[in-house]
Amino acid sequence: MHIMDGIVTSPLLAGATIIAVGAVGYGLKRVAPEDIPKIALLAAAFFVASVIRLPIGPTSAHLMLTGLLGLVLGPAIFPALLASLMMQTFIFGFGGITVLGLNLLNMSLPGFVAFLIFMPLLRNELFKEKSGLDASQFLKFFALSSKTRIFIIGFCAGSFAVFGSLLMVALSLALSGQEFFAIAKFMILANLPLAFIEGLVVGVIVQFLTSLKGEIFEVNSFHQTRSLRTSSELSS
């Protein structure tokens, strides 16, 4: 799903790069020094997990996991994904440097939007907080257990992120010229099963994480920047 160098038109590239810089800046602002190891290791885990190739019928595909990363990292998904894309560029030579901003946006923006939509629901389930968006009442309507509701939230976040990324890649191709329409359409169709399976897997992961280590979803819950306590503060 990476777009290569030289395909996209320059104005689109420039625009995407500027927006991506802004997004990374916004993400970094929300990062407290204490959260840096967590963000880095989660980004590394995300990078490592993409090695796993899931068979889908006769072919195989690797998971994107941006929906999960969005839920876990929140706004910090932008710097985290930029770091992993840089590593990927360095190690494999994929993607290329000029499209870094566009690729970053295509991958992280759907993840971040998934965070904005589904995190309030998940918090509701986890911490019994009341939030503005109370669609879980709607899910309760079907008399589903809390575990199932968490799975459904994870499923939606996971598939939403993949589907969003597909749409964004297709849109970037389509904006670059009519001749890429065929590739864009083919790409969306070929990856639809992946969006579904990714949803299932992310649903399982979210369920697993909430039962084992619910506080993992609190990494992103900081809204004011905490400063790292210095040694003098610790001793006082």
Residues in 29-58 at the binding interface with other proteins, rule: CB under 8 A: 31, 33-34, 36-45, 47-49, 51-57
Position 21 contacts other proteins (CB under 8 A)? no
Closest CA to 7 of 110, 96, 84: 96
Position 142 contacts other proteins (CB under 8 A)? no
Tell the smallest beta-carbon distance from residue 44 to other proteins (Å).
5
Tell the smallest beta-carbon distance from residue 41 to other proteins (Å).
4
String of DSSP letters for 4-31? PTTTS-HHHHHHHHHHHHHHHHHHHHT-
Name which position in 18, 186, 189, 190 contacts other proteins (CB under 8 A).
186
DSSP state of 61: E
The C-alpha atoms of residue 198 and residue 28 are separated, in whole angstroms, by 27
Helix axes 66-73, 100-127, angle to 10 degrees: 60
Position 117 contacts other proteins (CB under 8 A)? no
Segments in 62-218 forming alpha helices (H): 66-73, 77-92, 100-127, 136-140, 146-176, 181-213
Residues 61-90 interacting with other proteins (rule: CB under 8 A)? 63, 65, 68, 72, 79-80, 82-84, 86-87, 90
The smaller minimum CB distance to other proteins, of residues 231 and 236, is found at 231
Name which position in 98, 131, 146, 148 contacts other proteins (CB under 8 A).
98
Name which position in 1, 113, 174, 200 contacts other proteins (CB under 8 A).
200
Position 97 contacts other proteins (CB under 8 A)? yes
Position 25 contacts other proteins (CB under 8 A)? yes
Position 168 contacts other proteins (CB under 8 A)? no
Position 217 contacts other proteins (CB under 8 A)? no
Choose the binding region for other proteins from 106-114, 122-130, 141-149, 175-183 (rule: CB under 8 A). 175-183
Name which position in 137, 145, 230, 236 contacts other proteins (CB under 8 A).
230
Position 150 contacts other proteins (CB under 8 A)? no
The smaller minimum CB distance to other proteins, of residues 135 and 187, is found at 187
Closest CA to 101 of 33, 195, 168: 168
The number of residues that bind other proteins (CB under 8 A) is 84
Check if the beta carbon of residue 68 is closer than 8 Å to that of residue 206.
yes
